[in-house]
Chains A and B, each alone.
Chain A
Amino acid sequence: MKKVMIGNHAVSWGVLRSRVEVISAYPITPQTQIVEALSDMVADGSLPAQYIKVESEHSAMAACIGGSIAGTRTFTATSAQGLALMHEMLHWAAGGRLPVVMANVNRAMAPGWTIWTDQNDSLSQRDTGWIQLYCETNQEVFDTTVQAFKLAETVDLPVMLVLDAFFLSHTSEPVDVTEQEDVDRFLPQRDATFKMDTSDPHAFGALVRPDAYTEMRWQQQEAMHEARDVFRQVEDVWEAITGRRYGAVEAYRTEDADLLLVTSGTITSTARTVVDERRAGGEKVGLLKVKMFRPFPTEELRGHLGGVDRVAVLDRNISPGHGGIFAEEIRSALYDVPPEDRPNLFGYVLGLGGRDVTPTVISDIIDNCRSTARPEREDLWVGVEL
């Protein structure tokens, strides 16, 4: 069934098709339409879920944790300040190995007040133990939403799917909504690994002494590692049903490229057109889209980037005092590439607070990248006019 819908509603449809049992959410622009649509679905009975309209994002995540430890499939959505408020409970869900799925609509952090996109909100939650999947199109948003539950419930880790504010959340695109029976085959009712059960009572989350905490964290990390392979399997199954797959990393026209752009989110789509233009001009430019940020697709990135001359990472985010976060992570991943194959990495910081990243901006970046032997600094800010 094809429908034209905004990105936010693609999330809602994914949640509907996934037969989520407990939803708990708090409104925040620009995600609000996700939970508004879910309210309608619950109200009209098409989604027979328990919907807890909590008084804060912190409680939203806490309630999802409650629903999850009760054995059910749970979902919430948020953005920016809301995600930051959830921070404590993101650790709780991950450390408790609860497969909560959350949509985060990327919005820049205040102050000053902003509602437009950048990735600092989700990337600030990098170390909470959540799987993070960044989307480029509304179709991908729908697909990733459904996949997220499959992935989360297989590895017992929470998953955050991420979409750009407005560029996706409020932009209409045609979306092929997978039929319910197909999704049901892909995603049966959750059978929880750990849950509260009065016939088999256990305590969850008690004080853990130093003699066991490390082992629990090690297993969490192992699950993260396993998630890479599990995600591949999830995509295999999904592709078999729908014919669609995205990959943790997508290589676009990277063959024989001497310069690769690295992007995530909607900048990717813009970058594709620039790459097409440059390729048409005979330039060996390619594009690498990073969908999966956690677990970090280290090996795939090394495989694609090793031996390339120049790499331009486009970061719609900044780790103040360091650099663009994707750039830093990729730089770190490339350390183990043999020096002769190690590319020259340029880290561009751009598009913060929703500033438009146009084809011209990306084209200029390609030129800039080619024009100097080495980057002047680890963070190359684009378009700063003081």
Chain B
Amino acid sequence: MSQTIIKQHIPRDDLLASGHLACPGCAAPIAMNLVLKALGPETMVVLPACCWSIIAGPWPQSSLRVPLFHTAFETGAAVASGIKAGLVARGDTETTVISWAGDGGTFDIGLQALSGAAERNEDFIYICYDNEAYMNTGVQRSSATPWGAWTTTTPTNDPEHQPKKDIMAIMAAHRIPYAATASVAYPVDLVEKVKKARTIRGTRFLHILAPCPPGWKTQNDETIDLARMAVERRVFPLMEVENGGTWRFTVDHPGGSIEEYIRRQARFKHLTDRQVEIIQDEVDARWGILSNRVEHGT
């Protein structure tokens, strides 16, 4: 074998139109396209404030070929709860409702509503495409910003102090039926997870790492490579959690030094070698914790 041909696993119809307003090389539209391919046209999208508020196009446009509701920053999960309730009230139990939020709308301002919905086990899929900062407002730190990163609110002489929030653990703690991480560099894994999520009822959570060329200060054509490297080097392991207790890795994570991953992103260029080692230690430690969860389900 040389190359595993994946096209037969990726549904052909695009529910996302060209001419959307994502920056060149943005991972967010790739993620959206793959998710909608997996879900099909019987899908409704709730869109709290995020880069996608722009990507979707200004009035009177829409880049989506499914219904889309733009909403306030912190309300993705709540509005999705309401839409689903409305559909069910009218007898429609089949249409999939997704809430499509950035890391700010998920890790920060939207966490309360998300937690509420997850605790109620609302029947929708919450998808966070995570570009690791408030990119739409011009790169300010969020609680998804990794330790050591530059943003406009964490300048290089005082970069991000905190490691990235463990959103998967938070979601797993809600004991929702399905939570998973996914990557634009692993389209089949992503599509399969979305398809699986679609068959499950209750709150489903998907966390997709979405490299951002202007925010990460990388080249436009590095997006997929960096997303892939994040997985391979265990910075962003691909996994799924069922009912909050069963953790499983879904691809191989060969590991190895994260140095290239860090050094290729100019948002980390101020870091000393020692600081890169600190990140490596953190990645290794987190991998240990995750492996333990996979092994012992805790």
Contact = CB atoms under 8 A, between A and B. Distances in A.
Nearest to A59: B78
B163 interface: no
A327 interface: no
Contacts of A72: 85-86, 89-90
A24 B57 CA distance: 30
Query: Chain B at the A interface: mostly helix, strand, loop or mixed?
Result: mixed
Interface in B18-69: 41-44, 46, 53-54, 56-62, 64-69
Nearest to A21: B89
Contacts of A24: 78, 81-82, 85
A74 B82 contact: yes
24 contacts: A50-B86, A50-B88, A52-B82, A52-B85, A54-B78, A55-B112, A55-B115, A59-B78, A59-B113, A62-B82, A66-B80, A67-B82, A68-B86, A69-B86, A70-B82, A70-B86, A70-B87, A196-B44, A198-B43, A198-B67, A198-B95, A201-B67, A203-B59, A205-B69
B56 A92 contact: no
B82 A66 contact: yes
Interface residues of B, number: 48
A384 interface: no
Interface residues of A, number: 41
B69 A204 contact: yes
Interface of A: 21-22, 24, 49-50, 52-56, 58-60, 62-72, 74, 88-89, 92, 196-198, 201-209, 212
A50 B85 contact: yes
Contacts of B56: 203, 206
Contacts of B64: 201, 203
B70 A203 contact: yes
Contacts of A70: 82-87, 89-90
Contacts of B75: 58-59, 62, 65, 89, 92
B72 A22 contact: no
A201 B82 contact: no
A81 B291 CA distance: 45
B112 A66 contact: no
A46 to B, nearest CB: 15
Nearest to B122: A52
A69 B80 CA distance: 10
Contacts of B57: 203, 206
A149 to B, nearest CB: 15
Contact of B119 (A55, A66, A67, A207): A55
A109 B68 CA distance: 36
Given A58-B113, A198-B95, A206 B46 contact: no
B71 A203 contact: no
Nearest to A212: B59
